[in-house]
Structure 1
Amino acid sequence: MASYLLAGERLVRAVAPGGELEREHLPQKLRAELEAALEKKRKGGDRSSGPARLVSFRLIRDLHQYLRERDSTLYLHELLEGSEIYLPEMVKPPRNPELVARLEKIKIQLANEEYKQITRNVTCQDLRHGGILSDLGKEAAFVCTYLGSQYVFTEMASRVLAALIVASVVGLAELYVMVRVMEGELGEI
């Protein structure tokens, strides 16, 4: 959470000797804290210690309170022109290797379970395309009935109708067998 302000040039000039805040006769303690915060330099040019000229919000509130009490014509928003809220860089703690390994294991297990769920009703037979052997029973029943019915019926329509009836009965029988096999497979799962 932000608790510092990166002071802009306007605030630095106002606090400097001869600046706008000198006319306000700031209390010695407040002036000393502001000057100390604004004159802070990085130790040895080191960026890890954070940027220079960081002023705490508490110090800014104290300055604002003092200016209000004195009914000053110098307003805080004018002094803070060009300043920015300082958000320190968030350092993420290193992840526990044991936790990472457990998470990876769980991800793999979940992926395997999802794959099994998706492929549970998939068989190695391709039912969509219907190979030669899969429809052989229906086709053979139709052909045999059609050719055999020429000795019984003389009209073409009667022969086709008889062939369709027999092919439908064979198809229903195959459907019955397929359902019984699937019930057996579902019972095993």
Structure 2
Amino acid sequence: MARESEVKLTDTIRKALQDAVDDSRISNMDKMTFKNILNEEGCGQKTIPFKTVRNLSKALTTAGKKVYIHELLKGSDVHLPSVDIPKRSPELEARLERLRTEAANREYEQMVGSIVPKSSPLDFSIGEDVKAINRQMTAVFNFVITVVAAFMFGYKGSELLLGVSNVAQKLTYGLVLGMAVFFADLYFLVKHTK
């Protein structure tokens, strides 16, 4: 059963209780309740239920006296009932502890996941390294051969197709064609390299 809130019995509340007991317009049932509180107060009662203060305010207001609850409670303290928390079962405690441990482990793994490598440093393959070097060397060799071949085509092609005999003009045609192939090849090399 839930206990209700109680308030400290102050002189203001005592005086209002006495006024209610002395007033003839208040019902006998309410008078008996208020008289019992005043008699118990003599025995050392220091708190009364909040419901009684609310009933006292209603009774006095009905009798024609304007007494509000906040005026009665001025200088008083509210005593809230303590809540009885049931004890948890051992199975529940064990399960909660297991879940807390799992959550802490997941959080730790997430924090150090980017720091600690998944594989050991001794776990390497020479074959993969050789294949990677082979791919890079092939790309560089292809790059150099393509640019040199484009230069040679521009140099010799200008002589054969255009009839240019001046060495400076042949070098210019070769360099222009070589540079064009150089930048085109560089673009594709950078774009497709991982």
Q: TM-score, normalised by structure 1?
A: 0.51
CA deviations over 1:136-184 (Å, ceiling 9, x no partner): 5544433332234332223312002223444556667x56xx7xxxxxx
Change (3 A) 1:110 1:65: same
Report how far residue 59 of structure 1 moved. 1.3
Aligned-partner Cα distance in 2 for 1:98–1:159: 75
Separation of aligned partners in 2, 1:139 and 1:34? 105
Q: Which residue number in structure 1 is paired with residue 95 of structure 2?
A: 99
The equivalences for 1:2-151 within 5 A come to 3-7=4-8, 9-11=10-12, 14-15=13-14, 19=15, 21-25=17-21, 27-33=31-37, 36=40, 39-40=44-45, 53-72=46-65, 74-90=67-83, 92-93=85-86, 96-104=92-100, 107=103, 138-151=139-152
| Matched-pair identity in % | 16
Gaps of 5+ in 1: 41-52, 125-131, 179-189
Match for residue 158 of structure 1? 177
How many residues align? The count is: 146
Judging by fraction of residues, say which structure has more helix: 2
Tell me the CA shift for residue 56 of structure 1: 1.4
> RCO greater where, 1 or 2, for CA within 8 Å and sep 6 or more?
1
CA 81–136 in structure 1, closer or farther in 2 if over 3 Å, else same: farther
Cα deviation code 1:11-67 (max 9, x no counterpart): 3xx41xxx4543442524322235536933xxxxxxxxxxxx332122123212321
- Structure 2 residue ranges without an equivalent (≥5): 23-30, 120-131, 156-173
Contact 1:2–1:88 (CA under 8 A) maintained in structure 2: yes
The structure number with the bigger radius of gyration is 2
* Paired amino acid for 1:80: L
For 1:72, what is the secondary structure of its paired residue? coil
Cα RMSD, aligned residues only:
4.4
